[in-house]
Chain A
Amino acid sequence: MFTILWRTIKDRKYSLLIYCLSALALIWMYIALLPAMERMADSMIELLSGYPDAFVSMFPINAESFANIENFLAIENYSFMVPILMIFMLTAIAGVSLAGEVETGTAEIILSTPISRVKIFFGKYIYGIIAIAFFSLCSTLSVIPVAKIYDVSYIAANYFTMFGMCLLFGWITFSLAMFLSAIFSEKSRVYMFLGGIYIMMYVVQIVSTLSEQWSDVKYISFFHYYDYEAAIINNSIGASSIWVFGILAIIFTVAGAYWYNRRDFAI
């Protein structure tokens, strides 16, 4: 299993590095921009007030948003950029790892060696977990040294909590992607299905904010449990986030490994 893990790390080190550096660059940019944004806060809020309420509800910006780095990053980085980058990165990793190998035919090389399919699955899976950890680290804890460079005050504990939230969100995203990758034989189908699922979840999340009647549909969206504001501003992760992400990630992981172990590889 570790041979497969090591080989996967070797093959994908540059793409992981690019994602991590992008996360770091975003943090750097936002921290560097904070003073300017603080000065422009009033005009931005005034600009947004001219838009429809439903639109503004998607961008919950107010005077508080620029009051400190945690609030600012919550709005600018953790609300959209971090989850979207994570979804892209982890979907790509999962798609290439299993379905991609079947598609290109290289799966036969591994399958003809004396290693069980479950170990193959987890060899690839562990790489994804490592990628989540590194990316989350660069997206959260990197704030601490960068904020020091720019002399911006921060609450260190909140970034550790946000790190936990990113790990949870990454874990569920990757587990779902690996489950689909274990089922399909083409990575494009994995991407297509996941794309559909996330668009549906995003739409559901927006719809739930528009009307009281539809507010309960938010519970079927991952974005509801990805409560970045609670993590980065209030330094807390809700129990529902931990349970829903944790249980679903385990279910998708076990189902993916089971399917991969049972399926036919007609390459």
Chain B
Amino acid sequence: MSVIDVKKLKKYFGKTKAVDDISFTVEKGEIFGFLGPNGAGKTTTIRCMMDFIRPTEGTVNILGLDAQKDSVELKKKIGYLSGNLRLYNKWTGREHIDFVSKLNGKDDIAKEIIEKFHFNPDQKVKSLSSGNKQKLGIIMAFMTNPEILIMDEPTNALDPLLQNTMYELIEESAKNGTTVFMSSHNLSEVDRVCHKVGIIKDGKMVATESIRNLKEKRLYTVTAYFSDIFDKNEFVMEGVGITKEIPGGLLLTAKGDINELVAKLSGHNLKDLQIEHASLEDIFLEFYE
């Protein structure tokens, strides 16, 4: 049974279709990256999962429970990090941590994470930098040792070093059986930590694939330098796109069978040829064309 099972989820705000009929599943221990640009529907989906907003249609099941009807029971098992983290300015970090701890009513590992992030919990939130506020949000999400982590752009405002600490924490949690659902528009982040990715565009899910499968999609970047005269129109063929002309050569994107392209290239005197699997970024952009 999937840990997270979203079926035909729709959320409309008046005539605006924020999320339009999306479905996906996330398995236990998986790190699921939810990719899409701003306004694609990532946060709306997360808010439906957290029962902050109610779906227009469709269901969200987490750990076999209904995200709406069993919301209280589920939140005992979910750690949540908002993408737009807002804290009580007059409280200290410790007051936030104690408040969340009391409402959760179970032992926590806040101390351990505070040390990991070198966070000073006795400072008032209003005097914290945005990075430190984000650290506090991370501590509040992880401190209850949740079975599921739902995070909306978790590395927002963190410097590269802390981003690495965060990735390690996510990976460690997943190894311990925690299922992670995280939205992002940082492709290298998703590439680094996620096992599976869902790509959302204009409220619709355009792809749900494992990172490995996605990368194994036959999408290539071809860089060719010619010793002889060439005509770029020769390479106008199905599945091949001319990305740009470079001095003495061409940068091409090829999709599917590349034999025809290679045959065409071999008819030329080549100075250099480089054929690479496309990066996640190229694949992502392909979905957004």
Q: Given contacts A106-B87, A106-B88, A110-B103, is CB(A116)–CB(B50) below 8 Å?
A: no
A11 contacts the other chain (CB 8 A): yes
Is the beta-carbon distance between B100 and A113 smaller than 8 angstroms?
Answer: yes
In the bound complex, what is the Cα–Cα distance between A267 and B44 (angstroms)?
A: 10
A105 contacts the other chain (CB 8 A): yes
B72 contacts the other chain (CB 8 A): yes
B57 contacts the other chain (CB 8 A): no
Within 8 A of A (CB), among B164-178: none
Within 8 A of B (CB), among A132-178: none
Main secondary structure of the interface of B (DSSP, over half): mixed
Is the beta-carbon distance between A114 and B86 smaller than 8 angstroms?
Answer: no
A211 contacts the other chain (CB 8 A): no
B99 contacts the other chain (CB 8 A): yes
A contact residues around B288 at 8 Å (CB): none
Of the candidates B72, B100, B105, which one forms a contact with A109 in the assembled complex, judged by CB atoms under 8 Å apart? B100
A contact residues around B87 at 8 Å (CB): 106, 109
In the bound complex, what is the Cα–Cα distance between A110 and B140 (angstroms)?
A: 11
B53 contacts the other chain (CB 8 A): yes
A contact residues around B99 at 8 Å (CB): 3, 7, 109
B80 contacts the other chain (CB 8 A): yes
Closest to B152 in A: A108
Of the candidates A114, A262, A265, which one forms a contact with B73 in the assembled complex, judged by CB atoms under 8 Å apart? A114
B123 contacts the other chain (CB 8 A): no
Closest to B48 in A: A264
A67 contacts the other chain (CB 8 A): no
A199 contacts the other chain (CB 8 A): no
Chain A nearest CB: distance from B78 CB in Å? 7
Is the beta-carbon distance between A115 and B72 smaller than 8 angstroms?
Answer: yes
Is the beta-carbon distance between B103 and A3 smaller than 8 angstroms?
Answer: yes
Within 8 A of A (CB), among B197-235: none
B contact residues around A111 at 8 Å (CB): 50-52
Which bracket fits the contact residues of B? Answer: 20 to 34
Q: Given contacts A264-B53, A265-B47, is CB(A113)–CB(B104) below 8 Å?
A: yes
A contact residues around B47 at 8 Å (CB): 265-266
Chain B nearest CB: distance from A107 CB in Å? 8
Of the candidates B80, B88, B105, which one forms a contact with A112 in the assembled complex, judged by CB atoms under 8 Å apart? B80
Chain B nearest CB: distance from A2 CB in Å? 9
In the bound complex, what is the Cα–Cα distance between A3 and B104 (angstroms)?
A: 10
A contact residues around B71 at 8 Å (CB): 116
A contact residues around B104 at 8 Å (CB): 113-114
B76 contacts the other chain (CB 8 A): yes
Within 8 A of B (CB), among A92-135: 104-106, 108-116
A contact residues around B102 at 8 Å (CB): 3
Closest to A3 in B: B102
Residues of A within 8 A of B (CB): 3-4, 7, 11, 104-106, 108-116, 262, 264-267
Sample (15) of A-B pairs whose CB atoms are under 8 Å apart: A3-B99, A7-B99, A104-B86, A105-B85, A105-B86, A109-B86, A110-B103, A112-B82, A113-B75, A114-B74, A114-B76, A114-B105, A116-B71, A265-B52, A266-B47
Question: Which 6 pairs show the lowest CB-CB distances between chains A and B?
Answer: A105-B86, A113-B103, A264-B53, A112-B80, A114-B75, A114-B76
Beyond the given A11-B88, A106-B86, A109-B87, could you list 4 further A-B residue pairs with CB under 8 A, ordered by the A residue number?
Answer: A106-B87, A114-B75, A114-B104, A116-B72
